[in-house]
Structures are given as structure tokens and as C-alpha cells.
Structure 1
Amino acid sequence: MKNLIRRWNQISLVKRILIGIIIGILLAITIPDQAKWITIFGSLFVGALEAVAPILVLLLVMSAISMHKSGQQTNIKSIIGLYAISTLSAGFIAVGATFLFPVNLSLGTSAEGLTPPGGIVEVIQTLLLNIVDNPVDALLNANYIGILTWAVLLGVALKNASDSTKDMLASFSNAISQIVKWVINLAPIGIMGLVFDAIASNGLSALLGYGKLLAVLLGCMLFIALVINPIIVFISIRKNPYPLVFKALRESAITAFFTRSSAANIPVNMRLCEKLNLDKDTYSVSIPLGATINMSGAAVTISVLTLAAVNTLDIPVDFGTALLLCVLSAVSATGASGVAGGSLLLIPLASSLFGIPNEIAMQVVAVGFVVGILQDSCETALNSSSDVIFTATAEYRKRRKEGKEISIHASDSHLEKKA
């Protein structure tokens, strides 16, 4: 048994995850009733990630800032700029695609019990209130804006602490990082359970009536992942961006696709940044921040579903309103929560731009939950993998300006040795 486990662990994590996906699909198709117990693995995996992520962020950021030396530069400003460019570009791409391939919806479904934001002011107010949230509540509710705020403040306060205090903080941070590695090592079993649950519970029949809508949504996300993001990376580092893009898609997007939570994927992204040998002071802040504000996939969802409702109701759209929707969807997307379906509740906010009643907008939200089997998975995969891509891009650009070599073609084994 020990030899079997050792050989299993020697296989790359991506290959093990693919094996788990295949087994989950086969079991869901062949014996869905007899294998229902497998879903517990998916729930345990997501639960473990969500449990460890807030503590990981708090300790990593506190440790990094407390040990930060004056004059030592980080790339946070550059990363935030890249996040903003990507999200705004996503809004433009989604609006343009919906004009080229207009979509109509069959409304009439119900979305009772859901409470959308009342306006952009409410979204901003929520973000500000999250900043001053009680630290215990922030940890319990996985409020990463609040966690980051307290981590930064405590880190700054501890900059003048004794070396022994800082060492103890670093030891706790390293211990949590080790727990994260153990959890991620269970990803193949967890994702097997998630895949089984998704197919056994929903199947693909629920998606057949929304083929065109899904084609536009997923087409936009693929275009951003494979064209827009690489262009942004190339402009920044002047090197072939696809080795970095494909690595992030392979090692971050796959787990994010099945967990459907940017917050739950934070430990996975932290581990990938470590393998890429990025600056820990930077990625310990940029990754949890990206899980909150880097939402290009959410901008696509908001724009496409809003314009689908507009087309269904035969509401005319002029160029100025379309441009405003691009900006509104990008700004609203930053207020989307990093959990499954978080972007859908912002659709009524964008719909109000066209005078669409809240009752109809909530029916569009219900349609979003129907196609969310694929839409939300792809959205999260795009959002989460982009966090790593832009964190790495900012550091690579800094290295290029300093005349240092940028090695983004390195193999997994080489990266692990460097890390």
C-alpha cells in the first residue's frame, strides 16, 4: 500500500486530477445511485480549502508585511492595474460579442428569495463596510477584504516587534502553508466527488435549451483567456505569454472550474505562485485581493445576460448606453463575491440601466443559475487563473526592467527545485 501511495504521489498533480475527473464522469454515468457517497469527497475538499484559506491569507500577509524592509519594492500597484485592464476589457468584449450574436431568453422562471444590490452605491458601500468588518467575523465569513485590511494593519504594527515574534509568526505561516499542501494533494479525490455530483445531479439536459447563450458566454471567456490575457502579458513582458497562460490554466483553472469558488482556490494559487518562484511578499497580498476584485469572468456574465434580457424585451441600445454598460459591468464585477454564483446577483444592477423591472431581472438571474453548471465554473476558472497570470506578469515586467532573465518555460520539476 505504501508503495502504491508513493507511486501515486509521484504522478504530476494535473495528471492525477484528470484521472479523478475521468473516474467521476464514469461513475456518474454508470452507477449514479450506488456511488452517491462519493459526493462527500467533493464537499470535504471544498470545505477544507475554504476553512484554511482565511487563516492562510491572514498569517501570510501579516508575516510578509511585518518582515518587509523599508525601500523593498513590491508590484501590488502594477497588479491592480492589470486586474482593472483585464476586467474592463472583458466588459467590452462581452458587449461586443452580444451585439454580434444577439441572444434571446425564455423568461418565466422564478428567483424568489434572492436579494440583489439596489445600486452601484450599495455595492461600493458593501465593499467599504467589509473593510471595517470585525476581524473574527471576517475570518468566519471569509470576508477577504476585511481579512486583508486587518492583516495589513497588524503586519504594519508588528514591523517594530522583536525578531523572535516575527520568527514565530513566520513559523505559523509556514505551518499553515504545509497544511495547504496536504489539502491540495487530495485534489484528485475531491474533484472526482465534485464532478460526480455535478453530472449525477444536473446532467446535461438542463443546458440544451440555452445553447446559444452558453456559446456566447463561454466563447467570450475563452477569447479573454486565450487572446486578451496573453496580449496584456506580451505587452508587459515582451515574451511569448502562452507558457505562463497555459500553466495557470492547467494548474489553477482546473481546480477553480470544479470548486466554483475563487476564495476556495486561493491556496491552489498560492502554491502555484510558490512553484513559479514569485515574490512571497507580493503574491500573499495579490492572490487574495484578486479573488475579490479581479472578476473579468463576472464582467462577461453581467454584460451578456443583461443584454440578453434587453434583446428579449426589444429595448433599443445606443452606443453611449452600451459603453456605459461596459464600465458598469466592470465596476460591478469587483463587487461580486468570490463564491459560486456571486456575479449573478449583480445582473439586476446592470439591468436597471435599461429600465428593466427587478421582477424580470430576477428571472434572468434564475436563467443564470440554470446555465451556471458551466457558466459559473468557467467564470471562476478564468477569474482565478488570471490572478496568477497577472501576479507573475507584474514580477516578470519588473525583472525585465532590471535586466534579469525571465524563465517562464521552466518545467514543473525545475520550478519545484527553485521553490
Structure 2
Amino acid sequence: MKKLLHAYFATPLVYRIIAAFLLGIGAGIGSWLLARPLGTEWLEHATGFLSPFGTVLISMLKMAVIPIIFFSLVTGAASLPLKKFGKLGLAVIVWYFLTSLFASVFGTALAIFLNPAMKNTSSVSESLLAQAGQMKTGGGSGGFGRFINELFMNPFQALAEGRFLPIIVFSILFGLAARAVLENYEKEGKSSPVNLMLDLFDAAQVTSFKIIDWIMEYFPIGVFALTAVNFALYGTELFGPYLRIAGCVIAGVLMMIFVIYPLFILVFTRENPYSVLSKIKEPIITAFLTRSSAATLPISFLAAEDKLHVKNQLSGFALPLGATINMDGVCIHLPVFAVLAANIFGIPLGIGQIFVLVVSVIFASVGAGGIPGGSIFLLFMVLSNMGLSDSQTATVVALAIGINPLMDMFETACNVAGDNVGNYIVAKRMGMIETPR
């Protein structure tokens, strides 16, 4: 037994996670097939038993991510001169906007070229129409309006509810205020008590990362449970009538991760892009398996610090912001269903309609929220801007619900890859890479 445990923990974590994912697919599809002769009651018991082992992994990551964001942003903002932080912040925001614009144009062009279609849309969407209607009434507002409205709120409420936008804003303001106080004390030649607070925050951040090290050892168990439950519930239906749509989204995501991002890295850093991608494989795989940019943040922080050697002053700001507003995968996913809607309902896509689609996708992606399935809510905004009626929109959203668990995995992996690539490129261009010890 000891030899088995030693061999297990001696195996690199990424290989254990991949093995757990593949075993989860096999167990999930096997359970789904067994449910036909044995009945759905057996499947409900099986998934009910396994589900907590998967959801607890996401819960643990979300438990750690809020203090990590807060402490990282405060210490990062306070450690840089105010002028330099302003330049870094502007560079990150501009980069995220440009990559979202590129991804939206690329996703729209790819969708038009591949021209997704589906047979028997009415029968496929019929069973999910009620769920689509509930999403519309309960999903709330998204897009740019939501982004502006959530910038400022009670910071303690934001921390308790895990609202990333107001946490980011308050943490940055708090850190900049601490820096301003420090600079005032330095001008007067005095020692500032703010240093004690920042030392405490720095210690809290390091301690939070130690918790992440422990959580990582649980990853294979959580991944197996998440994957098995996902495929047990949906089985081969995840691939059936949706094959062409899935192909469009997956092709776009893979091209972004393995072609477009490497080109960005090569052009802006003059480095081997696939060496950089190899260093961020853990965040990408984690995003793929958990379907949550927010839950992946702790792993992105570890990769930025240990593998890419990006200074915490930058990654502590860029990565949480990216998990909130930088959604390149969403910018590829949404145009596919928009073009599908145009094909189903005979809507001509001229230059004007394409322009509206691209702009709608960019602003909608800001409201994705970094949570599993967040892009589904955004379809209402995009399809409404295309002129679809409520019933037509509900039909397309119902179709999206049917394939969302699979698409969300690829979409989130692309989102997180974009965050980490952007963080590294800005760091390289702005001299924010630490020399490895």
C-alpha cells in the first residue's frame, strides 16, 4: 500500500489529473449506458453520491480565491509608484480589449465560414425551452451596464458574496491609498505604520498559496467526480445532433490557444511560444475541467509566480481582472450560436448585422462572470440585438443549453489561456519579469 501511495504522489500532478479525467469520461458514459436497462433511479443515486466530491473541489478553490485576490491586489498596488501602476493598469486593460476584439472578429468570421446548422431544431430544443425561459427571468442584466453598476459597492458585502468586480476596484484603491500614504511619510522622512499592514498582507498571501498547494492534491479526485457526473447525465447526447456546432466552437478555441496566442507571444516577446504555453498548462487544464475562470485563479497565480516569474505587482492585478472581463472563449462561442440562429430563422447577415454582432459579443463577454455556464445568459443580449423575437431567442438558448457543458469546458480553457498569455506579454513588455533564483 505504501509503495502504491508513494508511486501515486511521485507521479506529476498534471498526469494524475489527465488520468482522472479520462477515467471519469469512461465511468460517466458507462453509467449513462447502464441507466437504460437499470433505470434512471440507479443513475440518480450514483450521480448523487459522486457529485459532492466534484463540487467540493470548486468550493475549495473559490474559498481560497477571494483572500488571494484581495491580498495580492493590495500588496501589488501598494508596492509600485503610482505613475508606474497607472501605466501597467492601462496596458493590461488595452491588451484585454484588443484581444477580445480580435477574438470576436475571428469567432464571427469562423462561424460564417463554417456555417453551423442543425436538423430537427424544434424537437431538440423542445425539452429545454422551459429552462431557457427561467434563465431569462432569473439571469439578471449583463454586459457593459452590469460592468459599470458593479464597480462600487460595500467591500465587505462584495467579499462575502464573491463579487469580483467590486473586490478588484476596492483592493486596488486600498493599495493605491496605502502607497500614497507611504510616499507622504517618505517625503517627511518618517517611518510609516502602513509597512506593518503590508507585511501582514504579504504573509497572508503566502499562507493562502500554501492552502492552494494542499487543495491541488485533491484535484484528481474532484476531477474524476466532476467528469463522471457530467458524462453520466448527458452521455453521448453531448455529441449527437450538435456535432457540427461543437466542431465550430472547438476548432475556434483550439486555433486561439495553439495558433493565435503563440503568434502573439512570438511577435511581442520573441520567445518560443510553446515553451510559454507549457508553463501555463496547469491553469488551462484546470479551467477545462472546472469550467470556471474564477475557480482557476489560484492555479494561474501559482503558474505566474513559479513558472513565468511574473512579478506579483502585475499578476495580482491582471489575472483577477482577466477572469472578470477577458473572455476570448466567449467571443468565439457566442458568434457560433448567433450564426446558427441566422441560419435557422433565415436572417440575412450583411455588413451592418455583422458589425452589431461583433460589438454585442465584446460587451456581452464582459458580463460572463467567470462562473460555469455564464455565457448562456449572454446569448439573450446578443440574439436580441440581432432582432430575434423572444420565442426565437428562447429556441436558440435552449439549443445552447443542451451542449453547454461540453462547450463551456473548451470556452473556459480559452478564457484562462488568454488571461495568462496577456499577463505574461504585458509583464515582458513592461519589465515585470523577475530573475529566477
Same fold (TM over 0.5): yes
Q: Tell me how far apart the structure 1 counterparts of residues 429 and 77 of structure 2 sit (CA, whole Å).
A: 22
Tell me, yes or no, if structure 1 residue 262 matches structure 2 residue 293. Answer: yes
Deviation of 1:142 after TM superposition, in Å, equals: 1.8
Greater radius of gyration (CA): 2
Partner of 1:83: 96
- Paired residues for 1:205-354 under 5 Å: 205-248=237-280, 250-275=281-306, 276-354=308-386
Matches within 5 A, 1:82-231: 82-105=95-118, 106-107=121-122, 108-109=125-126, 110=129, 111-115=132-136, 123-159=143-179, 160=181, 161-162=192-193, 163-231=195-263
Q: What is the alpha-carbon distance in structure 2 between the residues aligned to residue 271 and residue 176 of structure 1?
A: 11
Q: Percent identity?
A: 25
Contact 1:207–1:370 (8 Å) recurs in 2: no
State the 1:283 CA deviation: 0.3
- Which residue number corresponds to residue 60 of structure 1? 72
- Following TM superposition, the consecutive aligned residue runs of length 4 or more in structure 1 with deviations greater than 4 angstroms are 1-7, 29-36, 69-74, 116-120
Rounded to whole Å, the distance in 1 between the matches of 2:116 and 2:18 is 33
CA contact (8 A) 1:27 1:35 kept: no
Contact 2:144–2:366, Cα closer than 8 Å, also in 1 = no
Distance of 1:166 and 1:239 partners within structure 2: 35
Alignment-derived partner of residue 17 in structure 1: 17
Instruction: Report what 1:48 is aligned to.
Output: 60
Task: Give 1:241 deviation, angstroms.
Answer: 1.4
What letter matches 1:368 in structure 2? A
Q: Does 1:392 align with 2:424?
A: yes
Q: How far did residue 219 of structure 1 move?
A: 1.0
Deviation at 1:30, TM superposition (A): 4.7
- Does the aligned pair in 1 maintain the 2:70–2:167 contact within 8 Å? yes
Structure richer in helix, relative to its length: 2
- Return the TM-score normalized by structure 1: 0.88
How far residue 225 of structure 1 moved from its aligned partner, in angstroms, is 1.4
The one-letter code matched in structure 1 to 2:12 is S
Note if contact 1:86-1:229 (Cα within 8 Å) is conserved in structure 2. Answer: no
Q: May I ask how many residue pairs the two structures share in their alignment?
A: 403
Q: What is the distance in 2 between the residues matched to 1:335 and 1:223? A: 24
Gaps of 5+ in 1: 408-417
1:131·1:146 contact (CA, 8 Å) conserved in 2? yes
Alpha carbons of structure 1 residues 78 and 153: separation in structure 2 relative to 1, 3 Å: closer
The answer to which of 206-215 and 29-38 deviates more is 29-38
Q: Any gaps of 5 or more consecutive residues in structure 2? A: 33-42, 182-191
Instruction: Report the secondary structure of 2:27's partner residue.
Output: helix
Deviates further, 315-324 or 387-396: 315-324
**Residues 214-239 of structure 1: CA deviation (Å, up to 9, x unaligned):** 11111111111122222222221123
Q: CA RMSD in A?
A: 2.6
Cα gap change, 1:46 to 1:216, in 2 (>3 Å): same
After TM superposition, the score normalised by the length of structure 2 is 0.85
C-alpha contact (below 8 Å) 1:117/1:346 kept by paired residues = no
Deviations 1:230-282 (A, max 9, x none): 2222221123312212432x211211111111111111111111112111010
Contact 1:328–1:350 (CA under 8 A) maintained in structure 2: yes
